[in-house]
């Protein structure tokens, strides 16, 4: 049994204009020591699905009409809201997308680190402070004792993100969810943060769920990838297969849009149009208005479920075919 398994998860938001299904039938699994990357454009449901796992969706307006979230045999959706959040506090940590917004501006970073340690583990003030210093050292915050007395606005973006990682690791979680952990950071700091996460994961044999739109980061750290569009998983598989032989037209479009050093002077590829309005999804496949492979069946028939591919993994497309990086069909997909 995987350490964390999500099955057929649906998340809806009740609004004045109607019901928005932000996540629709999402399934994935991750085990200890593995890294799962969930990728897709803004609005695809990546962050909402992680908040559902953590029990952090405000209800109302959010509701989970179907699905299961199982951690080591315990279905978290069968627990009360209080039990769910307490369970995740012990076993699943989360690094939020905007560290400045996630940190409380009126308390020092050290106080925010020690609060959870004292509340959940019953540590004395002195022991909690000692543990907080160890955590700041772990995430390589220099002069940890001095920086612990400072407020979030006194930290740089990279240091705030390190502080957020320290807080997420305070309870020694078996699973860490990192929601866009390198957003708004320069490339040097991005590399440092990702290297830090990889080192901590290897040291603790921790499962990592990386939510991002940066496919360059995914290629270097992930074991498996789930590609989301309009609340659904449209392709899943091992990272090497998806990057070398993407099968869904949306996955191929995302990969084409990555800037490449060997394409200097060429115009960047873009995906035409924009993600659909979740209140007014098009008939058929949600991606068909932007797809270069769309045919009549894509516009009229219900979108297909994820189906296994000959080369491994799965894709949700009537015309899914594994394509090599040079644009030619893969031999195994044609057999």
**Would 231 be classed as within a structural domain?**
no
Q: To the nearest whole number, what is the mean pLDDT of the chain?
A: 89
13 with 127, same domain?
Answer: yes
Please indicate, yes or no, whether residues 269 and 313 belong to a single structural domain of this protein.
yes
pTM: 0.90
- Report which of residues 211 and 262 the model is more confident about: 211
Q: Are residue 176 and residue 252 in the same domain, yes or no?
A: no
Q: How confident is the model at residue 335 (pLDDT cuts 50, 70, 90)?
A: very low
| Residues 185, 314 within the same domain | no
- Determine the length of the chain: 335
Say if residue 259's pLDDT is above 90. Answer: no
Residue 142, classified by CB atoms within 10 Å of its CB into exposed (0-12), middle (13-18) or buried (19+), is exposed
Q: What span, in angstroms and rounded, lies between the C-alpha atoms of 310 and 323?
A: 12
Q: Dump pLDDT digits (tens) for 97-148.
A: 888 888 999 999 999 999 888 887 788 889 999 999 999 998 889 999 999 9
Q: Which are the contacts of 192, defined by CB distance < 8 A and separation ≥ 6?
A: 158
Q: Are residues 211 and 281 in the same domain?
A: no
Q: How far is it, in rounded angstroms, from Cα 151 to Cα 155?
A: 7
Nearest residue to 108 via CA among 66, 177, 154: 154
Question: For residue 317, what are the domain limits?
Answer: 245-334
Q: Are residues 181 and 277 in the same domain?
A: no
């Amino acid at each position: 049994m995987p350490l964390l398994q999500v099955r057929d998860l649906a998340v809806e938001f009740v609004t004045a204009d109607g019901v928005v299904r932000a996540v629709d039938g999402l399934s994935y699994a991750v085990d200890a020591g593995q890294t799962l990357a969930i990728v897709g454009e803004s609005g695809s449901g990546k962050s909402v699905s992680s908040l559902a796992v953590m029990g952090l969706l405000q209800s109302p307006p959010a509701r989970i009409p179907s699905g299961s979230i199982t951690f080591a045999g315990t279905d978290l959706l069968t627990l009360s809201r209080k039990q769910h959040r307490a369970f995740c506090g012990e076993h699943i940590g989360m690094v939020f997308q905007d560290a400045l917004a996630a940190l409380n501006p009126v308390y020092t970073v050290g106080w925010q680190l020690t609060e959870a340690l004292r509340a959940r583990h019953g540590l004395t003030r002195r022991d909690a402070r000692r543990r907080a210093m160890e955590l700041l050292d772990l995430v390589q915050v220099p002069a940890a004792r001095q920086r612990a007395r400072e407020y979030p606005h006194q930290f740089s973006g990279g240091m705030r993100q390190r502080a957020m990682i320290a807080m997420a690791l305070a309870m020694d979680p078996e699973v860490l969810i990192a929601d866009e952990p390198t957003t708004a950071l320069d490339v040097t700091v991005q590399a440092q943060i990702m290297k830090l996460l990889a080192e901590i994961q290897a040291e603790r044999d921790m499962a990592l769920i990386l939510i991002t739109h940066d496919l360059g980061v995914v290629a270097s750290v992930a074991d498996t990838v789930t590609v989301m569009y309009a609340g659904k998983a449209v392709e899943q598989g091992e990272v090497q297969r998806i990057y070398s032989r993407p099968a869904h037209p949306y996955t191929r479009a995302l990969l084409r849009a990555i800037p490449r050093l060997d394409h200097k002077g060429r115009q960047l590829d873009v995906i035409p149009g924009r993600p659909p309005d979740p209140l007014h999804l098009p008939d058929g496949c949600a991606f068909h208005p932007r797809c270069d492979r769309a045919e009549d069946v894509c516009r009229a028939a219900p979108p297909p479920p994820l189906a296994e591919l000959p080369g491994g993994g799965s894709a949700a497309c009537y015309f899914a075919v594994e394509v090599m990086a040079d644009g030619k069909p893969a031999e195994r997909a044609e057999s």
